[in-house]
Amino acid sequence: MEKTRRKNKIYTQEFKIRVIMDMREHRLSYHETVRKYELGNDQTGGARAMLQRWERIFLEEGAEGLMKERRGKNNTSGKRGRPPKLDRKVEEDLIAENQRLRMEIEYLKKLSALVLAEEQKNGKKRS
């Protein structure tokens, strides 16, 4: 038996806004909204997830956010794959800085331990 593939339904921006506004205005749950607008089979939760996504986009970006095409990978730079490697000199500088910072942290830890030991030896409380 061969599975039949359903084509995803495409909803207009106006429809999405109307659904979200109606849902929020009448305080409808996602389940009630799916049934009211016949958005699909609510058993799997896909329609509810779609509504949640629409509502999140509407709240974060407004009505204009629902107009954007969001399918596929978001690639604004036009480049694919891994980002280019750093220049060898820059990479060496970063490694050296990382080592200096680690040594500084170790130094400060030892200094703090020595100061604490000295204060305990003299019977002073640390403030």
Do 31 and 63 lie in one domain? The reply is yes
At 46, which amino acid appears?
G
Mean pLDDT (whole number) for 55-83: 74
The per-residue pLDDT for range 23-67, each reduced to its tens digit, is: 999 998 888 888 888 887 666 678 888 888 888 988 888 888 887
Do 18 and 60 lie in one domain? The reply is yes
Any domain includes 40: yes
Do 52 and 94 lie in one domain? The reply is no
Any domain includes 109: yes
Q: For the whole model, what pTM was predicted?
A: 0.50
The gap from C-alpha 103 to its chain's centroid, in whole angstroms, comes to: 34
Q: In which region does residue 85 sit, left (phi positive, over 0), alpha (psi from -120 to 50) or beta (all else)?
A: beta
End-to-end CA distance of the chain: 77
Any domain includes 51: yes
**pLDDT at residue 102 in the model:** 97
Question: What percent of the chain has a predicted confidence (pLDDT) above 70?
Answer: 77
Do 57 and 92 lie in one domain? The reply is no
Any domain includes 117: yes
**pLDDT at residue 2 in the model:** 59
Do 45 and 91 lie in one domain? The reply is no
Task: Tell me which residue range forms the domain holding 110.
Answer: 85-127
Any domain includes 77: no
Any domain includes 3: no
Our count of domains for the chain comes to 2
**pLDDT at residue 9 in the model:** 77
CB distance 57 to 64 below 8 Å: no
For residue 58, count other CB atoms closer than 10 A to its CB: 20
For the record, the structure tokens of 26 come out as 């009448």
Nearest to 50, CA basis, from 5, 10, 3: 10
| SS3 at position 106 | helix
List, in sequence order, every beta strand (DSSP E) within the chain.
Answer: none
